[in-house]
Structure 1
Amino acid sequence: MKILLVRPPRIKQAITLSDFMFSEPLGLEMIYGVLKENHNVEIFDMMIETISLKDKIKLCSPEAVGITSLCIDVNKVLDLCIEVKNEDDQIHTIVGGTQAYLNSEAFFHDAVDHIFEYTNEENLIELYERLAQGSMRSKIDGIRSKEFGYASTRKKGRYAYMLPDRSSTEKYRREYSYFGYRPAAIMEFGVGCEKACDFCLRWRIEGYEEGLIDPELTKRDMAQIKEPTIMMMDNDFFASEEKVKAFLSLIRGMGIKKNFIVYGSVKGIILYKNAIKEFVECGLKAVLVGYETFKDTELADYRKKSTIEDNYKAAGILRELGVDVWASFMAHPDWDANDFSALRRYIKSLKPQITSISPLTPFPNLPMYKKYEDRLLYNAKDYEKWSFGQVMIRPSGMSLRRYYWELLVTNLYVNIFVNKKTEMIDRYGLMNIIRIFTGSLKAFNKYISLMIKN
């Protein structure tokens, strides 16, 4: 069977970090890896491609088109499915990805034939075998099919981490990057997160229980990565000392020499300083740290397991070890101008290399959605607004326009006065810095547009 796997194009009006962190479509690479033995499969990355899906279909004549999705992609994915059906209504349309897992009902549409609630080797192989044979026969666990009224078998499951085929995106790989590191690959070493922060979707997707991916799968995956940099996408790479040491043992045993970037918790940085020091010797270059706020009360509300003083300790440890810190913060909807000013002072005192500030976003699948439901500026079906960059909760301490102004001023401040430009140029090269600066300008322009609009 001829299968085209599609990543949708960027949503132009969305404010996201895709201009700074542009990763490969790992889920599609996994699906490719499972299906390639028995099917003719191709990945079509519309974030890079310049031709339309319609033109691609004319060129390759697929029998099935599978499209991945994030929350903001719902309308675009439906448009793409309609485009496929308009070109040839005999082509099977299949939707999967994060949004299909969190809210499969968003894709109940006549142009969508099948929806993956979750994906594993068994249901992938089963669906495409049945499609090739021309008969569905019955429902499949984890898949909602139009011919069965999108009914579920009610068997619960989660996305499986399967061995990706990195060669499937060979023609795109030079474009994939993480801030100044380009090209860069992404992979996962462990799944789940016991911290269960109140604003985070990851643990709801991967589960509360933490565990390591099969080490043999990890070795096979690591061995095929050609890029000099790997972003480890674990929700908290420093979940335990045993986890860090297991990874170090694996890469030392394989003789891997790479730049590594990880997400790391403040508590993990403090508790496992010695293991992190070993990791630095093996290539750790940067840690993405969610400091989130400058108020202990808000950290407690978010169910973070750290304090403001812990943030300072973690920042000092990473500075001492020579590791770059990419800090993230969430602007609370109840902040006033003094709070934004305090945030700027706090960021300056932490001295991160890179900083991002986004408005608190209470996704419909999170408990805090109910808390702020009566203050939401958009409803749950305004999918393209839910991008982490746009203000979703009506501010209580100032007008919406002033709130956007404070966000803009704060982002300008950290980019001009806090982020370590000289160090970045020395480490990443001038062209990468220009690319990041261009991405920053896009975000600033969007904030100015929203400020004027509101």
Structure 2
Amino acid sequence: MSVVWDFWSNFYERLWVQRVSLGPTRRAVLARLAGRLTPETRVLDVGCGIGELLGEVAREVDALEKTEGTGAVRLTIGQFTGVDASPGMIAKARRRHPELSFEVRDASALRWLIEAADPGEKKFDVVMCTHSLPYYADPVQVLEDMAAVLAPGGMLVLAQASANSTYDAAVLSMVKLTTGTASYYSVEALKTMAAGRFEVESVEKVPTAWFMPSIVLMVLRLKGGADGENNKDAAWAQSPTKALRGGGLGPTKNSGPVPKKIMLLRVMPDPETIGLQHVMVCEPLELEYLASNLGADGHETQIVDMILERRSLQSFLEALRPEVVLMSGYITHVGTLKETARVIKAWNPKIQIGVGGVHAEVVPEDFLPGTAATASEADEPPTFDKIFTKNAVFEARVWLGGGTELLAAAPCTASPEYTEPDASGESLSPTKLSGESLSPTKLLPPDRSSTARYRARYYYMFHNPCALIKTSYGCPYDCSFCFCREITGGVYSERPLDDVIEELKGIPEEEVYIVDDDFLVSEARVLAFCDALDAAGLNKKFLIYGRADFVARHEHVIERFKRSGLRAVIIGLESVRAQDLSTYSKRTSLAENEQAAAILRRHGVELYGTLILGMDFDKDDFNTLNLWLKKNKVHFVNLQPLTPLPGTAIFDDYKDRLLVPREDYPKWDLAHLVLKPEKLSVRAFYWEMLKLYHKRVASPAHVMALIRRYGLGPVLRLSVGSARVSLQYLKKIAQG
């Protein structure tokens, strides 16, 4: 994010928003501070930019000093302090206001200002945060830290563009194209986020041009004179192992489940991740499975989807008061999951936290103590009380005292979660449930009512709204770059089609995404599925995963499935170079890829192709790939630089050649370069990727075809999401 603001810092004072947004905000803040400043007032500006507001406040205090007869200016270094994550902004602020203090600091480092202060130096009387809160990944934590640096009774002046209407939201969605990831919170959301530490003194709308979105100015007072510090270490007065085993969650064979209040939490992706989240937000199917199966054991569950929520995590903790929080995610979420767990433990150390998902199942050690991204994290106590490494739903049931019928088949039950280090001092390791009775085909179906308030906003590109369903588990193939088989220990299992049809009957959405690793495994099963759909009178539109070789050899199946609702197929084409297909153990041919594309096109089924870009790619290879895609009329492509994910067969081959550190989790998104290109610079490689995306996806002819097929609204929505992805790549190109 700082790269964007470094760019704008070059001409920040000349931007047109100074006249219609930043200038009016500064005037409103100064008016609100009138009569409240004294010559001793200490002021902190968070996200200070080039120091314009802080400079004007300092001049007001200067005028006060002269009015009171003190004569010379007595401003002290540190009395007026500005912090900003952008080195470019701070450099210009220091040139413009050498008499003030400016620091290149992320808002998450505010407490440093107090820790680094001279003994006896008091905290700030006023903290200002104008037009920067929307850009912080964890605004609640920033508010907490602003409370920590305020003196008792101190004032927080908060101003920002605020989405309080449909018009506001529409305009601000366009603003994000120039600023990057942002959340323009409504007034109510801001009040909720601040409620834990502040009292609202006033709320007003900043007067500005008619076409501008709402800009709100809030003045808040620190509650009760608290200094914002919490005793975060109290929960770990006992040893980490004892803390992990505490809480009474480990059941015995004779114990029944004690009902718990459980928050099922989906976290927001890290802003650094180049993500499909800009063109799709799918329902959290794994959390819905937990909701139904834990609910059957008598627990009270609620799903909180932070991707869609505008309220803070703390507001949900306050409202729900959970005893247990369960989360899941991919490798890109590991850091966010850890940080979220730390926030939850800081709020209430007694809350038990479990984590699962495909990465936890394949590489659980990433969630263990001592595997943190920084040395300071490694010294912290464990934040997870349970790592689900086999089947999260069954393990969660046992851990929470249910599923007692599973214990006979699970020699390692829920307690202990970790084994003690042996004499050699080896690290703690997670336990695993095992046994035939843990087959995922025995799960209760997901509880989709648990996401009722979100369902209208779950979509996948043009499939909107879109539901998810899983009809099989695992994959019968063993491609070297993929760990689908690893998740299920190499076992592939299918749900009975009768159960699948019954679940489909309860899905209200017309668009359904079958998220099997490969739905096109058995000709007989696919045809039986089509017959069952017709017999049940179900009219759905399906998006599925499949392999090119199946499509190439079974055109009649595609034709039949099309009549029963097949709309699109995601195919791992992987490469247009035969040697790559062999290296990846794909067991398909270039000819089969071309046949599959032709068959799907012939029957009006959309092809979403994924391709792996080898590190030996040069410009000619990118051109060859573009020509192949153009020849075969493949427009929707997901270009993935070769990424040796931890847990895959190829990781060990590349672990000594990583460009991105193993612990820099947000960048392991199959979009960042984690290996160094051999023939192109990093900047040139990203540029070739971006050009290829736009040649295939954004060509005028293709855009017009999409509008004719899907309508203008959906195409505009996808275009905005694509623009955000492009902006992320442009940042990478600028960084080199």
Question: Shared fold by TM > 0.5?
Answer: yes
Report the residue type matching 1:77 in the other structure: L
Provide closer, same or farther for how the CA distance between residues 170 and 448 of structure 1 changes in structure 2, counting only shifts above 3 A. Answer: same
Q: Is the 8 A contact 1:244 1:276 kept in 2?
A: no
Residues 216-225 or 49-58, more deviating = 216-225
Report the residue type matching 1:123 in the other structure: E
What is the deviation of 1:380? 2.0
Alignment match of 1:200 (pick from 469, 482, 499): 482
> Following superposition of structure 1 onto structure 2, how do residues 14-413 of structure 1 map, counting pairs within 5 Å?
14-37=273-296, 38-109=298-369, 110-119=382-391, 122-129=394-401, 140-141=412-413, 145=417, 151-153=429-431, 155-156=433-434, 160=440, 162=443, 163-413=445-695
Q: Within 2, Cα distance between the matches of 1:56 and 1:124? A: 22
- Runs (4+) of structure 1 exceeding 4 A deviation are 146-159
Report the residue type matching 2:279 in the other structure: F
What is the deviation of 1:381? 1.7
Q: Within 2, Cα distance between the matches of 1:450 and 1:444? A: 10
SS of residue in 1 equivalent to 2:694 = helix
Report the residue type matching 2:588 in the other structure: S
Q: Deviations over 1:303-328 (max 9, x none)?
A: 11211111111111111111111112
Q: Deviations over 1:377-403 (max 9, x none)?
A: 023222111001101110111111111
What is the deviation of 1:370? 2.1
Q: Within 2, Cα distance between the matches of 1:85 and 1:139? A: 30
Q: Within 1, Cα distance between the matches of 2:675 and 2:551? A: 32
Among all aligned residue pairs of Structure 1 and Structure 2, give the percentage whose two residues are the same amino acid. 28
What is the deviation of 1:120? 5.5
Unaligned runs of 5+ in 1: 131-137
Report the residue type matching 1:288 in the other structure: I
Alignment match of 2:714 (pick from 411, 432, 437): 432
Q: Within 1, Cα distance between the matches of 2:274 and 2:473? A: 27
Q: Do structure 1's residue 13 and structure 2's residue 272 form an aligned pair?
A: yes
Provide closer, same or farther for how the CA distance between residues 52 and 139 of structure 1 changes in structure 2, counting only shifts above 3 A. Answer: farther
Report the residue type matching 1:344 in the other structure: N
What number of residue pairs does the alignment pair up? 448
Q: Within 1, Cα distance between the matches of 2:431 and 2:326? A: 21
Q: Within 2, Cα distance between the matches of 1:16 and 1:73? A: 12
Q: Deviations over 1:147-174 (max 9, x none)?
A: 9675544554678253101111010011
Q: Deviations over 1:61-115 (max 9, x none)?
A: 1111111121111111111111111111111111111121112222224221111
Asked which structure has the greater RCO (Cα within 8 Å, sep 6+), the reply is 1
Q: Is the 8 A contact 2:387 2:430 kept in 1?
A: no
Q: Match for residue 179 of structure 2?
A: none
Pick the structure with greater CA Rg: 2
Provide closer, same or farther for how the CA distance between residues 368 and 262 of structure 1 changes in structure 2, counting only shifts above 3 A. Answer: same
SS of residue in 1 equivalent to 2:626 = helix
Q: Within 1, Cα distance between the matches of 2:487 and 2:575? A: 24
TM-score normalised by the chain length of structure 1: 0.93
Q: Deviations over 1:355-383 (max 9, x none)?
A: 22121111011122222223210232221
Q: Deviations over 1:104-132 (max 9, x none)?
A: 222224221111112265433221127xx
Q: Is the 8 A contact 2:597 2:607 kept in 1?
A: yes
Q: Is the 8 A contact 1:120 1:160 kept in 2?
A: no
Q: Within 1, Cα distance between the matches of 2:617 and 2:535? A: 50
What is the deviation of 1:140? 4.7
Residues 20-29 or 214-223, more deviating = 214-223
Q: Deviations over 1:269-308 (max 9, x none)?
A: 0121111111100111111122121111111111112111
Q: Deviations over 1:157-206 (max 9, x none)?
A: 67825310111101001111111111001112222222211111222223
Q: Is the 8 A contact 1:64 1:93 kept in 2?
A: yes
Report the residue type matching 1:51 in the other structure: R
Q: Is the 8 A contact 1:112 1:146 kept in 2?
A: no
Q: Within 1, Cα distance between the matches of 2:605 and 2:305? A: 32
Q: Within 1, Cα distance between the matches of 2:567 and 2:642? A: 28
Q: Within 2, Cα distance between the matches of 1:299 and 1:121? A: 36
Q: Within 1, Cα distance between the matches of 2:277 and 2:525? A: 29
SS of residue in 2 equivalent to 1:18 = helix
SS of residue in 1 equivalent to 2:648 = coil
SS of residue in 2 equivalent to 1:371 = helix
What is the deviation of 1:144? 6.4
Q: Within 1, Cα distance between the matches of 2:590 and 2:429? A: 47
Provide closer, same or farther for how the CA distance between residues 147 and 59 of structure 1 changes in structure 2, counting only shifts above 3 A. Answer: farther
SS of residue in 2 equivalent to 1:401 = helix
Provide closer, same or farther for how the CA distance between residues 108 and 358 of structure 1 changes in structure 2, counting only shifts above 3 A. Answer: same
Q: Is the 8 A contact 2:338 2:367 kept in 1?
A: yes
Unaligned runs of 5+ in 2: 1-259, 370-381, 403-409, 422-427
Provide closer, same or farther for how the CA distance between residues 146 and 152 of structure 1 changes in structure 2, counting only shifts above 3 A. Answer: closer
Q: Within 2, Cα distance between the matches of 1:374 and 1:151? A: 24
What is the deviation of 1:25? 0.4
What is the deviation of 1:208? 3.7
Provide closer, same or farther for how the CA distance between residues 348 and 56 of structure 1 changes in structure 2, counting only shifts above 3 A. Answer: same
Q: Is the 8 A contact 1:159 1:206 kept in 2?
A: no
What is the deviation of 1:233? 1.1
Report the residue type matching 2:539 in the other structure: K
Provide closer, same or farther for how the CA distance between residues 359 and 59 of structure 1 changes in structure 2, counting only shifts above 3 A. Answer: same
Q: Within 1, Cα distance between the matches of 2:608 and 2:329? A: 26
Provide closer, same or farther for how the CA distance between residues 25 and 121 of structure 1 changes in structure 2, counting only shifts above 3 A. Answer: closer
Report the residue type matching 1:271 in the other structure: R
